[in-house]
Structure 1
Amino acid sequence: MLQEVSARLRKDLIRGLGKHSHHKAPVKMLPTFVRATPDGTEKGDFLALDLGGTNFRVLHVRLEEAQKVLKMGSQICTIPQAMMVGKGEQLKGQTLPLGFTFSFPCEQLEIDKSILIHWTKGFKCSEVEGKDVVQLLKEAIHRKRDCHIGSVAMVNDTVGTMMSCGYIDQSCEIGMIIGTGTNACYMEEMKNVKRIEGEDGRMCINTEWGGFGDDRSLADILTEIITHLSRSCDHFEKMISGMYLGEIVRLVLVKMTKDKLLFKGQISKALGTPGQFETKFISEIEDGLENAMKILTELGLVWDPVDASVVHLVCDTISSRSAHLCAAALATLVNRIRNNRKLDHLETTVGVDGTVYRKHPTSKLQKAMRLLAPQCNITFFVSEDSSGKGAAITAAVAQRLKKSCSTMCTKASE
């Protein structure tokens, strides 16, 4: 079944890359205009802005020889609720980035030109949707008068993860997030990116694979609970990501209790309340039955050892499904890279970030990958502080490519 899921995603990747088919594709396959991964020679000082949730961070990053990354300084600012729903001009008035991590759905036109499709995560700033957020950022910085920046390289968190890991390990060509949400990016051959002119080289593609299945292509594996939570969008993400796993377990436990299979048929107030079974409980319960007993008591449930064992099984089942579906999607990407390059065997690294990956057992994901991509040897590189450093490194790579192009043009003119 996982092989079938992977095959369906493979078809959707092609649809998303197509010149005329991408508009209706559930997997958006957005070009990022990042044309290369780091080669380890990037050096210098860079600023970065990370805006993707209730906080934003400004970092000073120094890249040194021997692929050493130093975070020279950073400032974390909480975004007030009034600013999150106020005017966009108010939101962007205090930053000085060269690398800009902006984790909202955008249609990227160049590495420094990106149109916000719509806000998510509680943001509702007016006069931003449909506009170039990089230009708005530059205008805001210009209004500071005493501030000066060079070029701006805009990325999302998956690209930042890939670039951050890629600076240390040059075989990293995939970035994956398994946290509150899930997404991935990878290096695609330009000749296959039909919506962008050009045949040479490669470009990083932001898959936005969370929308996989929104066209009913996964209808045969969607459960009643997933359908209830999804409400016709982001089906794949809801089966994998941390924002939903805890609620899925809670709804399963509620149904089993109503069917008199758990807790003597008695639903406590906490268990009956949406959001009260936190996703972190799943990994804690997977660690042992003692944790399960403690959490069930905290939820006000009357339980016996059999109840605790069943809850452990439910958590393990939901966690395993998340890992296996993620493996099916990731296998699609690594197999595509191998086939694109006509290789018998692929050695590659996946840069990965996100609390679900960090907190849950990863052995299930890795075991499934060995079955689904047997001709690929995959190393997982857990990223540290990728959103900020990755944006700075992306700016550094863009600067390197620009200098290289300038040098080649000069030699050609001579």
Structure 2
Amino acid sequence: MTKYDPELDFPEAYKMCKPFMLTDDNLTSIRNSMTQEVIAGLGRDSHSRSSIPCLLSYVQHLPTGRERGRFLALEMWPTNCRIMLVKFSSEKDIYMSSKCVIVPHTITGSRGTVLFNFLADNIAIFVKEKKVEKENLPMGVAFSFALNKLALDVGILIAWTKGYGCLGALGKDVVQLLRNALSEHSDIAVDLVAIVNISAGSLMGLSWSQTNCRMGLTVGTGTNAAYVEQTDECQLFEGDDDLPLMIINSEWGNFGNNGHLDFIRTEFDKIADSQSSNPGLKYYDKCISTLYLGELVRLIVVRLMKMGVIFKEHNLDYMGIQWKMEMKSLMALDSDPPGVYDQAQLVMDKFRMRHCEQRDLAMLRFITQCVTDRSAKLVAAGVACLLNRMAFAHISIAVDGGIYRLYPRYQLVLNKYTNLLTNPMHKFDFVIAQDSPGVGAAIVAGLARNLNKFSVAYG
């Protein structure tokens, strides 16, 4: 078994990837900058200048685990939505029935009213299938797009992600748009009462079964975190100060817009940013999210191929295609045991690059690890920032996203550096959040139905 030393065996790749190898001091600096941006985001006078805006969720209760009842939920993702009927039973049992619906490009590229009519049509079909169309069950929405929350059931759409052209919905209340669409279905009764972002939904969902959950973390095609803040620190909140807690949607993907990441951004980050749908924005997100990791690896490989350093016998016909390298390929590239490159070769087969040299596959694995390790380290800096701020003795963190669930190396790096950057007095566990954004939205729907007495019983 050949063992490679990257610095000696492929020095060109090592030199190119060296800027991705963040030091402990780099990460400490980033964590501290994020802390300052969180404080600014919570401030009345500094909020507009912060790259971590810390948006209010208006969710001020956490589940007790004793909640009971039936609720509806809608999870809204960039490419699909999921409609759910959730029943909370005794002894922490959750019964859940759901239906996933792909949102066609003809809908995402159309007007906002078309999108929300599409969602309402599918909700109507679902509640009829489940025979709850007349029960006026409370419904919560877990929304993956940026919102400015003005109340528990008011969310002003700030921006869509890539692929959405429903410009008529920007600046409008998403809940009201969906209510208007549902009102066209006179044969159903659905009580749309709350909206949360995906990370807050993950937090609330896990909290029902693990009542020490205080953070929801999303690492997927985008990244975000929600956490529990003290209400009196939320200067923009004008509601009831008697409730001590407020779930904050950090929207930390914007971090770096004030220059705090300039010292670690590589030439490849700058190329990927310039080719994105939102150049000059969301630098933290673009260093972390799965949408960009594959592109960063591809850009490095293309540069090395043009230099004649890697895959010398192959052409750029497929590797030269923008956004061609996906996260599932990166995880496969790094899934072989040491010295074995079977899965790596299968990935390269898809790029019409067969019978690759073992050294080239080892170099590709090294590049992949450098790029994905940086992502995990940067997430760790953000998580540590929030853990140190909350200062709980021991919490659970609900993690949503396939990269954590399916990529063991990512788990190891994230855990290692979160421990390194967090005050040792503050213990934590990362917990994979299965189905929890929608479950969390259902719980918040119960909260919204009965604000003064959270435990509800609808049958």
Q: Is the pair's TM-score, using the shorter chain for normalization, greater than 0.5?
A: yes
- Write the deviation string for residues 309-332 of structure 1: whole angstroms up to 9, x where unpaired: 111111111111111111111000
- Write the deviation string for residues 162-191 of structure 1: whole angstroms up to 9, x where unpaired: 111111100001000111111100000011
Query: 1:400, CA displacement in angstroms?
Result: 5.0
Cα 1:80/1:304, change in 2 over 3 Å: closer
| 2:331 equivalent in structure 1 | 283
| 1:329 equivalent in structure 2 | 382
| 2:421 equivalent in structure 1 | 372
User: For structure 1, which segment, 54-63 or 297-306, has the greater mean C-alpha deviation from structure 2 after superposition?
Assistant: 297-306
- Write the deviation string for residues 272-318 of structure 1: whole angstroms up to 9, x where unpaired: 11122221121111112222233234323363221111111111111
User: For structure 1, which segment, 120-129 or 382-391, has the greater mean C-alpha deviation from structure 2 after superposition?
Assistant: 120-129
| 1:351 equivalent in structure 2 | 398
> Within 2, Cα distance between the matches of 1:317 and 1:67?
41
| 1:228 equivalent in structure 2 | 271
* Paired residues of 1:50 and 1:387 also in contact (CA < 8 A): yes
Cα 1:315/1:144, change in 2 over 3 Å: same
> Within 1, Cα distance between the matches of 2:109 and 2:366?
42
Question: Secondary structure of the residue that 1:36 maps to in structure 2?
Answer: coil
The amino acid that maps onto 2:385 is T
Query: 1:223, CA displacement in angstroms?
Result: 0.4
1:178 matched to 2:219:
yes
* Paired residues of 2:294 and 2:330 also in contact (CA < 8 A): yes
1:42 matched to 2:63:
no
> Within 2, Cα distance between the matches of 1:298 and 1:77?
28
| 1:133 equivalent in structure 2 | 174
| 2:109 equivalent in structure 1 | 85
Residue of 227, 247, 255 corresponding to 1:204: 247
* Paired residues of 2:71 and 2:139 also in contact (CA < 8 A): yes
The amino acid that maps onto 1:88 is G
- Write the deviation string for residues 192-224 of structure 1: whole angstroms up to 9, x where unpaired: 111112544111110111111012111000001
| 2:318 equivalent in structure 1 | 270
| 1:312 equivalent in structure 2 | 365
- Write the deviation string for residues 227-254 of structure 1: whole angstroms up to 9, x where unpaired: 2222311111111111111111011111
| 1:106 equivalent in structure 2 | 147
* Paired residues of 2:57 and 2:248 also in contact (CA < 8 A): yes
Residue of 373, 382, 394 corresponding to 2:432: 382
> Within 2, Cα distance between the matches of 1:85 and 1:50?
19
The amino acid that maps onto 2:247 is C
The amino acid that maps onto 2:352 is G
* Paired residues of 1:259 and 1:265 also in contact (CA < 8 A): no
User: For structure 1, which segment, 75-84 or 58-67, has the greater mean C-alpha deviation from structure 2 after superposition?
Assistant: 75-84
Question: Secondary structure of the residue that 2:44 maps to in structure 1?
Answer: coil
> Within 2, Cα distance between the matches of 1:394 and 1:240?
29
| 2:34 equivalent in structure 1 | 9
> Within 1, Cα distance between the matches of 2:449 and 2:193?
10
> Within 1, Cα distance between the matches of 2:192 and 2:350?
52
| 2:18 equivalent in structure 1 | none
Could you list the runs of 5+ residues in structure 1 that have no partner in the other structure? Answer: 406-414
Question: Secondary structure of the residue that 1:268 maps to in structure 2?
Answer: coil
* Paired residues of 2:193 and 2:449 also in contact (CA < 8 A): no
The amino acid that maps onto 1:354 is G
Query: 1:265, CA displacement in angstroms?
Result: 7.5
| 2:21 equivalent in structure 1 | none
Residue of 303, 309, 312 corresponding to 1:261: 309
The amino acid that maps onto 1:213 is G
> Within 2, Cα distance between the matches of 1:10 and 1:43?
37
* Paired residues of 2:78 and 2:161 also in contact (CA < 8 A): no
Cα 1:359/1:404, change in 2 over 3 Å: closer
Query: 1:33, CA displacement in angstroms?
Result: 0.4
| 2:23 equivalent in structure 1 | none
| 1:395 equivalent in structure 2 | 445
| 2:17 equivalent in structure 1 | none
> Within 2, Cα distance between the matches of 1:84 and 1:404?
36
Query: 1:74, CA displacement in angstroms?
Result: 2.3
User: For structure 1, which segment, 113-122 or 11-20, has the greater mean C-alpha deviation from structure 2 after superposition?
Assistant: 113-122
Question: Secondary structure of the residue that 1:398 maps to in structure 2?
Answer: helix
| 2:44 equivalent in structure 1 | 19
* Paired residues of 1:227 and 1:235 also in contact (CA < 8 A): no
Question: Secondary structure of the residue that 1:220 maps to in structure 2?
Answer: coil
Identity of aligned residues (%): 33
- Write the deviation string for residues 53-86 of structure 1: whole angstroms up to 9, x where unpaired: 2322221110112121110x32332323333233
* Paired residues of 1:56 and 1:79 also in contact (CA < 8 A): yes
Aligned residue pairs, count: 399
Query: 1:126, CA displacement in angstroms?
Result: 4.8
Cα 1:254/1:127, change in 2 over 3 Å: closer
| 1:411 equivalent in structure 2 | none
* Paired residues of 1:254 and 1:267 also in contact (CA < 8 A): no
| 1:67 equivalent in structure 2 | 92
| 1:296 equivalent in structure 2 | 348
CA RMSD of aligned residues (A): 2.0
| 1:409 equivalent in structure 2 | none
Query: 1:404, CA displacement in angstroms?
Result: 6.0
Residue of 150, 153, 178 corresponding to 2:194: 153
* Paired residues of 1:30 and 1:205 also in contact (CA < 8 A): yes
TM-score by length of 1: 0.91
* Paired residues of 1:349 and 1:381 also in contact (CA < 8 A): yes
Query: 1:266, CA displacement in angstroms?
Result: 4.8
The amino acid that maps onto 2:421 is L
> Within 1, Cα distance between the matches of 2:155 and 2:82?
20
> Within 2, Cα distance between the matches of 1:305 and 1:87?
51
Query: 1:151, CA displacement in angstroms?
Result: 5.1
* Paired residues of 1:183 and 1:208 also in contact (CA < 8 A): yes
> Within 1, Cα distance between the matches of 2:317 and 2:304?
16
Could you list the runs of 5+ residues in structure 2 that have no partner in the other structure? Answer: 1-25, 125-137, 274-278
Query: 1:140, CA displacement in angstroms?
Result: 2.0
User: For structure 1, which segment, 327-336 or 305-314, has the greater mean C-alpha deviation from structure 2 after superposition?
Assistant: 305-314
The amino acid that maps onto 2:171 is G
| 1:217 equivalent in structure 2 | 260
| 1:57 equivalent in structure 2 | 82
| 1:33 equivalent in structure 2 | 58
Question: Secondary structure of the residue that 2:301 maps to in structure 1?
Answer: helix
Query: 1:226, CA displacement in angstroms?
Result: 0.7
